[in-house]
Chain A
Amino acid sequence: MDTAKLARMGNQIAAFFRSYPEEQAVASIRDHVRQFWTPKMRETARAACERGEGGFDPLVVRALVERERV
């Protein structure tokens, strides 16, 4: 799946969770992506976020790139 589409999907998810405090939003986005996206989609998106490409919303970048706080 192309990065542009993944970015749009991710940004839509961010738009929903943006109503919540940042930490909660990031965790929710991460959880949503893990529940519903295939490993391939997650990996493609994560790689693009790490490279700073694709136009992903900062919340999505944090959700995909940062490791989950224990």
Chain B
Amino acid sequence: MGLMKELDTGTPIRVAAQTVTLTIDGQSVSVPAGTSVMAAAMTMGTKIPKLCATDMLEPFGSCRLCLVEIEGRRGTPASCTTPSEDGMVVHTHTPKLAKLRKGVMELYISDHPLDCLTCASNGDCELQDMAGAVGLREVRYGEGENHVAPASDRFLPKDTSNPYFTYDPSKCIVCNRCVRACEEVQGTFALTIEGRGFDSRVSPGGTDFFGSECVSCGACVQACPTATLVENTVIEKGQPERAVVTTCAYCGVGCSFRAEMQGDTLVRMVPSKGGKANEGHSCVKGRFAWGYATHKDRITRPMVRDRITDPWREVSWQEALGRAASEFRRIQAQYGKDAIGGITSSRCTNEETYLVQKLIRAGFGNNNVDTCARVCHSPTGYGLKTTFGTSAGTQDFKSVAKADVVLVIGANPTDGHPVFASRLKKRLRQGAKLIVADPRRIDLVKGPHVRAEHHLQLVPGTNVALMNAIAHVIVTEGLVDERYVRERCDLGDFESWARFVAEDRHSPEATEAVTGVPAAEVRAAARLYATGGNGAIYYGLGVTEHSQGSTMVMAMANLAMATGNIGREGVGVNPLRGQNNVQGSCDMGSFPHELPGYRHVSDDATRESFEALWGVTLSSDPGMRIPNMLDEAVAGTFKGIYIQGEDIVQSDPDTQHVVAGLEAMECVVIQDIFLNETAKYAHVFLPGSSFLEKDGTFTNAERRINRVRKVMAPLGGMADWEVTIAFAEALGVPMHYGHPSEIMDEIAALTPSFAGVSYALLEEKGSVQWPCNAAAPEGTPIMHVDRFVRGKGKFMITEFVATEERTGPRFPLILTTGRILSQYNVGAQTRRTANSRWHEEDVLEIHPFDAEQRGIVEGDLVSVASRSGDIALHAVISERMQPGVVYTTFHHAKSGANVITTEFSDWATNCPEYKVTAVQVRRTNRPSDWQLRFEQEDEALRRIGPALDAAE
């Protein structure tokens, strides 16, 4: 298997309707028009020597190695910058070229250290390869000015400020690949060439890497042909010997990676160019922050305890599973069938999630299963299913390359979905227009080479009012795509909706007082979206985590339908789904009311097909959602829960209520890789497995099903799916699967949208977007092309209903929450990596005006209090806030951000209203009571007792 290095054609192979045919070294080759001579040669197996060219970047033509001779043309043009043409006759290796190339290499090597044998890139260095390729034997240049000798005044020491990679200027050949990668691939422009001539040096803008604009995505490290930029893990361990392609376990972009290994030790993660979601790019988390998988905090032995105040006891799998099973059966006998339930993970694989919900439905005998999508995108499921007929995004990520107007609502992709943001920024640099609707001035509004045409800086909680105002403009100014609506949508519903939004009370002028967005801006933005060409909406939790989350999703769907922006590339309604497998978790039937494939449990035909295969009768009533389970626990009727890969104590709102619920239960079973916050309230702990330790599939925000491949043995001895099977076994519910592919086969057999999915198909195609079945054997990149899944698109009336959470004299500010680039969600993984160097604590961002009124200066400890509770955070004064709105993140358990969030939630799905909490902020000199108690309990509730001898 080996390293299976991906082919580098030097310059991108263009996509064009026309092909051209040329002759290279006597051989005929055809390529799409616009493809360079270098890439054409590469496709027929001829490697023209190159240093500054790489196919992830546009050609640059600086290294002068790839020169060729073209009959009928003078001189020796660079093959990377020369487009192939019909009838061209090229010679890639001639005596003249050989001499020129040797001369070029001689110059490069004259100013380069000669320590190949001990260099980190030994075996993976393009400079080394080229010296070999051109037959360099001597360097005739003597001692002179150089960047190599430490004594030289041009010498620069290594920059080791970034925890993940090292920059060694003495090895740099100034090929510009890193600078171009940061510009073209990542879009951050953090690198430049400082100085000129012989003094030219790569620089992160005059500072070191850590102190610069660099976001540590590693694109430069990947692009660097020498050891100038190299991963620290390669410096430590040496070159990998084999690679396994797998999928990242962080966000919903679902980047494909080559896990490059030495045996079963991971050396580095390199983004795969063949990955359709990311096409060779990644962010800091996927590429570098994988160390958590082998962190010392990993729990590898099952543990039990009688009371949560007892220390944990390490026991055998048999004992732990036996305890959990017998407790669950006892609870059911005592309190009823519905007294237990479970939560599936959005981070575990599709197969694992399927098994958990199967265990609950078939094994527990109820439908009390739910997932974390409850607290993030459940409104997406409800809203898009109602309007379009499908609970998922309509496009693939690549579609943004054809968008003309992009509307980003309640999302911060440069932080939350960085690889998608890079694609978006690339399109924006090409001229597409951007509208941002967000209470904060996120980085996309104004950054290097990106400027939003309109920033609709609304007050949190007024999303629907803003959408109605935009819709008002579109309808009253005659900007509706009437033909599209007539052909594809239910006309009756459209007419009701159009009458509704046309009312004066929805005009931008009338809603300005509520939303805080100037009417002129709203009108201009609406016109731009409706008439600017392909209009694409991308949205995130700033849409869904509101009491009108579902309403808002429907409002956006209405806009897309009204303007004909569905059903082709470059348009659509795109939820930026957070977790690596939250889409998959929903697909696999994690909701209490739906079986796999989004079919209601009361649908007899569907339920009967499951009953037939599973050999058991299933309940046809919807089960409990997570908030219900907690309420019933506090009420004393819900007593046992099986939670896989989920940390509700840290991620769910109103922490004190969540804890009260868990404390009231009699048997809390946690299956996870770390002792997380929820585990503090658990009685049985089952060690889980990271994405490196199992086979399976993840489904990303594009509905793309991607393989996860095992590279090391599970540290606890069993992969998560094996643990669930063992637990089922202990409960007397046998499940027989030898490999996750068999689980997928069962899913395919029972679910029409996945009928064509199999591991064989995934091996062949790499990945596939569902629906994938007889009607769409290759999968479905773009949905609703000829018709909506439900038939006709359904316009829904979206009256603005202000949230019950109101500011007032006691709590005059609004707290909204979000995420940042370096930490992921509850931080369980990223806090256990060097990523913490970028974000060691959650802080409160506050506008200068609000800060001044309260006498708060940068760095002050402030108390943030709401009806639910209070916490203390350090303040950061930030102009990107608006007066009246403060912001924090929830990446650190000890901050307790969710202590202050409320119990308000979306009307349709109970998705918590994280984005609107009325708070007061004051200077303080001590942490809050909750935080102090946290510090005390953190230690106490996590204690693991000494291992007991068998004889004791």
Which of B1-9, B434-442, B620-628 binds A? Answer: B620-628
20 residue pairs bridging A and B, Cβ less than 8 Å apart = A1-B632, A1-B635, A12-B547, A15-B799, A15-B907, A16-B801, A18-B799, A19-B500, A19-B797, A32-B908, A35-B593, A35-B602, A36-B593, A36-B622, A36-B909, A38-B338, A38-B624, A39-B621, A40-B338, A41-B628
Are A38 and B621 within 8 A (Cβ)?
yes
Q: What mask results when residues 7 to 30 of chain A are scored 1 for a CB within 8 Å of chain B, else 0?
A: 001001101101110000000000
B551 at the binding interface (Cβ < 8 Å): yes
Whether B112 sits at the interface, judged by CB under 8 Å, is no
The verdict on B208 contacting chain A, using a C-beta distance below 8 Å, is no
* CB within 8 Å for A16 and B593 given contacts A9-B907, A37-B622: no
Cβ of B867: which chain A residues have Cβ within 8 Å of it?
none
B600 within 8 A of A: yes
Which of A2, A12, A40 is within 8 Å of B907, CB to CB? Answer: A12
Q: In the complex, which residues of chain B have a beta carbon less than 8 angstroms from the beta carbon of A32?
A: 908
Known: A2-B635, A19-B797, A41-B628. A35 touches B622 (CB 8 A): yes
Q: Chain A residues with Cβ under 8 A from B279's Cβ?
A: none
List of A residues within 8 angstroms of B798 by Cβ: 19
Give bound CA distance, A37 to B592, whole Å. Answer: 9
Q: Beyond A9-B907, A35-B622, list 17 extra A-B contacts (CB 8 Å).
A: A1-B628, A1-B635, A9-B910, A12-B907, A13-B908, A15-B799, A16-B551, A16-B799, A16-B907, A19-B500, A19-B798, A19-B799, A20-B797, A36-B622, A38-B592, A38-B624, A41-B628
Interface flags, B213-253, vs A, CB<8A=1, else 0: 00000000000000000000000000000000000000000
Measured between C-beta atoms, what is the minimum distance from B295 to chain A in Å?
Answer: 39
Main secondary structure of the interface of B (DSSP, over half): loop
Pair B631/A1 contact, Cβ less than 8 Å: yes
Query: Please, how many angstroms separate the alpha-carbon atoms of A54 and B109 in the complex?
Result: 84
> A1, A13, A18, A36: which has the most chain B beta carbons within 10 Å?
A36
A21 and B628 alpha carbons, distance in the complex (Å): 31
Number of A-B contacts (CB under 8 A): 50
Contacts of A19 in B (CB 8 A): 500, 797-799
Which partner residue on chain A sits nearest B548 by CB separation? A16
Q: Please determine whether B600 and A35 come into contact, CB atoms closer than 8 angstroms.
A: yes
User: Which of A2, A15, A20, A38 makes the CB contact (< 8 A) with B623?
Assistant: A38
Hey, which chain B residues are within 8 Å of A5, CB to CB?
A: 631
Beta-carbon contacts under 8 Å, B901-926 to A: 907-910
By a CB distance below 8 angstroms, the chain A residues around B338 are 38, 40
A26 to B593, CA, bound (A): 21
Q: State how many angstroms separate the Cβ of B95 from the closest Cβ of chain A.
A: 78
**Chain A residues positioned under 8 Å from B635 (CB to CB):** 1-2
Query: By CB atoms of chain A within 10 A, which of B551, B628, B635 has the most?
Result: B628
Inter-subunit contact A15/B631 (CB<8 Å): no
Shortest CB-to-CB span from B710 to chain A, Å, is 38
Q: Which residues of B (796-821) have their CB < 8 Å from a CB of A?
A: 797-799, 801
Chain A residue nearest to B500 (CB atoms) is A19
Q: Which interface residue of A12, A18, A40 has the most chain B CB atoms within 10 A? A: A12
**Nearest-Cβ distance from residue A2 to partner chain B, whole angstroms:** 7
Q: Once the chains are docked, how many angstroms separate the CA of A40 from the CA of B622?
A: 10
Q: Chain A: how many interface residues by the 8 Å CB criterion?
A: 20
Residues of chain A from 18 to 69 with CB closer than 8 A to chain B in the complex: 18-20, 32, 34-41
CB distance from A41 to the nearest CB of B (A): 7
The answer on a CB contact under 8 Å between A15 and B801 is yes
Instruction: Quote the shortest CB–CB distance from B51 to chain A (angstroms).
Output: 61
Bound together, the chains give a CA A35 to CA B622 distance in angstroms of 7
A18: which B residues are within 8 A, CB to CB? 799
For residue B607, give the distance in angstroms from its CB to the closest CB of chain A: 14
Complex Cα spacing A15 to B551, Å: 11
CB contacts (< 8 Å) of B908 on chain A: these are: 13, 16, 32, 36
Instruction: Across the interface, name the chain B residue whose C-beta is closest to A1.
Output: B631
Chain A residues, Cβ within 8 Å of B625? 36
| Most central of A2, A18, A41 by chain B CB within 10 Å | A41
Taking each of B551, B602, B624, which has the highest tally of chain A beta carbons within 10 Å of its own beta carbon?
B624
Q: Chain A residues with Cβ under 8 A from B799's Cβ?
A: 15-16, 18-19
Knowing A1-B628, A19-B799, A35-B593, say if A13 contacts B907 (CB, 8 Å).
yes
Q: Is the CB of A38 within 8 A of B600?
A: no
A39: chain B residues at CB < 8 Å are 621
Residues 617-649 (chain B) with a chain A CB within 8 angstroms:
621-625, 628, 631-632, 635
Complex CA gap A39/B622 in Å reads: 8
Chain B 846-880 per-residue mask, 1 if CB under 8 angstroms from chain A, else 0: 00000000000000000000000000000000000
Please, how many angstroms separate the alpha-carbon atoms of A40 and B337 in the complex?
13
Residues on B with C-beta less than 8 A from A2 are: 631, 635
Distance of A1 Cα from B621 Cα, bound (Å) = 17
- State in angstroms the CA–CA spacing of A36 and B374 once bound together: 13
- Give the Cβ gap from B763 to chain A, nearest Cβ, in Å: 38
Closest to B366 in A: A38
B447-474 interface with A by 8 A CB criterion: none
CB distance from B814 to the nearest CB of A (A): 20
By a CB distance below 8 angstroms, the chain A residues around B909 are 36
Q: Report the separation of the CA atoms of residues A32 and B593 in the bound assembly, to the nearest whole angstrom.
A: 11
B343 to chain A, nearest CB (A): 16
Bound-state CA distance A43–B5 (Å) is 62
CA distance A19 to B500 in the complex (A): 9
CA distance A5 to B804 in the complex (A): 13
A9 to B628, CA, bound (A): 12
CB distance from A14 to the nearest CB of B (A): 9
Question: Residue on A with the closest CB to B910?
Answer: A9
For the complex, what is the distance from the CA of A42 to the CA of B798, rounded to whole Å?
25
Q: In the complex, what residue of chain B is closest to A13 when comparing beta carbons?
A: B907
Provide the bound-state CA to CA distance between A51 and B628, in Å.
Answer: 23
Q: Which 10 A-B pairs have the closest CB atoms?
A: A12-B907, A19-B797, A19-B799, A1-B631, A15-B801, A39-B621, A13-B907, A36-B593, A16-B907, A38-B624
| Identity of the chain B residue whose Cβ is nearest the Cβ of A41 in the assembled complex | B628
Q: Contacts of A13 on B, CB cut-off 8 Å?
A: 907-908
Bound Cα distance from A45 to B209, whole angstroms: 60
Instruction: With CB as the reference atom, state the residue of chain A lying closest to B625.
Output: A36
> Is the CB–CB distance between A38 and B628 below 8 Å?
yes
- Distance from A47 Cβ to chain B, minimum over Cβ atoms (Å): 16
A5 to B903, CA, bound (A): 10
Cα distance A65–B864 in the bound complex, in angstroms: 44
Q: How far is the CB of B638 from chain A (nearest CB, A)?
A: 10
Chain A residues with CB below 8 A from B623, complex form: 38
* Chain B residues in 8 Å Cβ range of A1: 628, 631-632, 635
Q: Which single residue of chain B is at the shortest CB-CB distance from A5?
A: B631
Specify which chain B residues have a CB less than 8 angstroms from the CB of A40 in the assembled complex: 338
Give chain A nearest CB distance to B494 CB in angstroms: 14
Interface residues of B in 584-625 (CB under 8 A from A): 592-593, 600, 602, 621-625
Which A residue sits closest to B551, measured CB to CB?
A16
Task: Report A42 CB to chain B, min CB distance, Å.
Answer: 9
Chain B 528-557, CB-CB to A under 8 Å as 1, else 0, gives 000000000000000000010001000000
Closest CB in chain B relative to A17 CB, distance in Å: 9
- A19–B593 Cα distance when bound, in Å, is 26
Residues of A within 8 A of B622 (CB): 35-38
In the complex, what residues of B have CB within 8 A of residue A36's CB?
593, 622, 625, 908-909
A36 to B378, alpha carbons, bound, how many Å? Answer: 12
Cα of A6 to Cα of B3 in the assembled complex, Å: 58
How many Å from the CB of A36 to the closest CB on chain B? 6
What's the nearest-Cβ distance from chain B to residue A29, in Å? 11
> A9–B635 Cα gap in the complex (Å)?
18
Alpha-carbon gap, A34 to B547, bound state (A): 20
Q: How far is the CB of B380 from chain A (nearest CB, A)?
A: 16
CB distance from B114 to the nearest CB of A (A): 71
Task: Tell me, in angstroms, the Cα distance from A37 to B622 when the chains sit together.
Answer: 6
Q: CA of A20 to CA of B797 in the docked complex: distance in angstroms?
A: 8
Interface centre among B500, B600, B908 (most CB of A within 10 A): B908
What CA separation (Å) do A3 and B632 show in the bound complex? 12
In the complex, which residues of chain B have a beta carbon less than 8 angstroms from the beta carbon of A12?
Answer: 547, 801, 907
Complex CA gap A9/B621 in Å reads: 19
